[in-house]
Structure 1
């Protein structure tokens, strides 16, 4: 009797697991199709509306009325939206899963602020060209991220200490950005503010190629560590028992996520809330109890593509993509803080 009970319980657990797995697979495929549909719409629609045949011809021609619009303006914008959204979504979800806190996104803990300070300093003080500003932003973002990680090591690694250190660093770096903007001339401030708002305007194909290499390489490595991340979520002792080198895996995941954020930010600027929203949305769609890494990355791409289309065509004036994503993220942050506060009061 007991054996029959155990067997039926195992069958129910296995059936539930397969059902959740199928749901996650279907949702991920739907998100991938949605990314392709939004990307196609971005290529077809604009001040001039082209047919799919015209877009295809423009991509294969050197000269023509549609070549400049399609190849120089729309194609780099579309590819950057997909890659940057993918990078922000995956990095944000990795932080949240690794640290077990929905506030642990690169936006909140100060990672993007490091790149922002360097970019604003390069634009306003050093008068550097865009390509050099991007490299400076990458280097600064990684440097500040490593500094945050080292400061959080005092007395042993702590998730809460890392988040609090990041929030403090973000406040400090944002104050420096504000001071630089106040001291700069009016002409230079406009270009700095365009970068800080998070924008796809003026992106070139040469920026896309390097971003694509970094996103593909870092994403593949994160996928390879996905099982170890799932084990770490069960607790440090369980993960070590199962043979996971917790310190090495945690450090590798953090560095890979920082690499994604730094390179994406260097191309587009700090697109607000994408890293913060992608993971929770994917978890809501696919269900909890899994890392939802690919789904979160695709949600990030959908958010950037859709927000850019909304900012360009659905509002009375044109707004950078970061303004639209910031508007989407603010209510969720307030809701999350209220819910966390309510839980703490209940406990």
Structure 2
């Protein structure tokens, strides 16, 4: 430890007249990256874990398929029987787990970074609640007529519109010459409570057959996924991830404060609005594809931040943790439990205690500061 007692780098070389060694990095034209071996290693391990769980999920079922055969089939070298089971029957469900997990993980990372609050997630901000309320309204009030007219896109489209509308409502209510993280969370909790009340009222007053269908969707499930729904969700998530990646570069100085970001020429209001809009759309697409799966968007960024040792939630690692969490929870719900359960039940069992731990940790920090 240096004699100044100001940390590892503070005062480095004061006596010798030297300067700290440069941080290793990579540069491609005008774009530069800092090279950090540990986060890269963690990201590679998470990607490998997500692919392994993806293959294991495909192999589980009434007709078990070994891991080596699944990988061979995914790479286009499988037998005809395996190819039919893997590609036509099981691949959409497993792929939906990856796509929805990545969407929720990145959405949670963006909202927590913008709000600077670990409790800010699509679940807490009411985005998933709004998507669920509009979808339940479509199912219960129309008595199935609207979904029959709109076909298979009716319920996902209603969830997408509901999530986007709720997210915009929360943003405009929280806007006071800028976005404050604490105010955003409080308004999001209020809007979420209103949406849950509306959903409960719709379920109580609807026909019992419509209630059963809506309730099954509200839990969050990957059952009965099709290539059409998964393909639309995958392309939407891919496009939104590209926009988030582009907007993430000017967002980095905003971690130091809006004044410093403005001094560096960053239009922080516009960047924050674009990122929040992308986060809302990612969450809405995820809900439209698998229902309101709880707590993945809350847990994934915090877990990724601790695994990579980053001060803020990393986007790529958060998406991969979301994919690992959702795919692993679906695999657990199908194999380790006595009966097969929707994936939302398992993620709620994991995320509930994690939320309590975050609240206790935040209270302890506040008590220590005071």
Using structure 1 for the length normalisation, give the TM-score.
Answer: 0.92
Q: Does residue 48 of structure 1 match 2:57?
A: no
How far apart are the structure 1 equivalents of 2:305 and 2:331?
Answer: 25
Q: Does residue 122 of structure 1 match 2:138?
A: yes
How far apart are the structure 2 equivalents of 1:310 and 1:211?
Answer: 24
> By how many angstroms is 1:32 displaced?
0.5
RMSD of aligned alpha carbons: 2.6
Question: How big is each residue's C-alpha offset from its partner over 1:17-67, in whole Å with a ceiling of 9 and x where there is no partner?
Answer: x99810000000000111111111112222211244477569979x96555
Question: How big is each residue's C-alpha offset from its partner over 1:186-233, in whole Å with a ceiling of 9 and x where there is no partner?
Answer: 222221111111100011100111111111111111111222222111
Q: Does residue 333 of structure 1 match 2:355?
A: yes
> By how many angstroms is 1:290 displaced?
4.7
How far apart are the structure 1 equivalents of 2:70 and 2:363?
Answer: 54
Using structure 2 for the length normalisation, give the TM-score.
Answer: 0.86
How far apart are the structure 2 equivalents of 1:7 and 1:58?
Answer: 55
186-195 or 231-240, which deviates more: 186-195
Q: Which residue does the alignment assign to 1:225?
A: 247
Of residues 99, 106, 112, the one that matches 2:122 is 106
> By how many angstroms is 1:152 displaced?
1.0
Q: Which residue does the alignment assign to 2:367?
A: 345
Q: Which residue does the alignment assign to 1:270?
A: 292
How far apart are the structure 1 equivalents of 2:365 and 2:237?
Answer: 37
Q: Does residue 295 of structure 1 match 2:317?
A: yes
SS class of match (1:7)? coil
The structure whose residues are more often helix, as a share, is 1
Q: Which residue does the alignment assign to 1:72?
A: 88
140-149 or 45-54, which deviates more: 45-54
Q: Which residue does the alignment assign to 1:7?
A: 18
Q: Which residue does the alignment assign to 1:173?
A: 195
Question: How big is each residue's C-alpha offset from its partner over 1:235-293, in whole Å with a ceiling of 9 and x where there is no partner?
Answer: 00111111111001000000011111111101100111100001110011100235411
Q: Does residue 83 of structure 1 match 2:105?
A: no
Which segments of 5 or more consecutive residues in structure 1 lack a partner in the other structure? none
Question: What is the 5 A alignment of 1:134-213?
Answer: 134-154=156-176, 156-213=178-235
How far apart are the structure 1 equivalents of 2:116 and 2:108?
Answer: 12
Matched residues, number: 344
Of residues 45, 50, 59, the one that matches 1:35 is 50
How far apart are the structure 2 equivalents of 1:136 and 1:15?
Answer: 48
49-58 or 25-34, which deviates more: 49-58
> By how many angstroms is 1:134 displaced?
0.8
Of residues 295, 304, 309, the one that matches 2:331 is 309
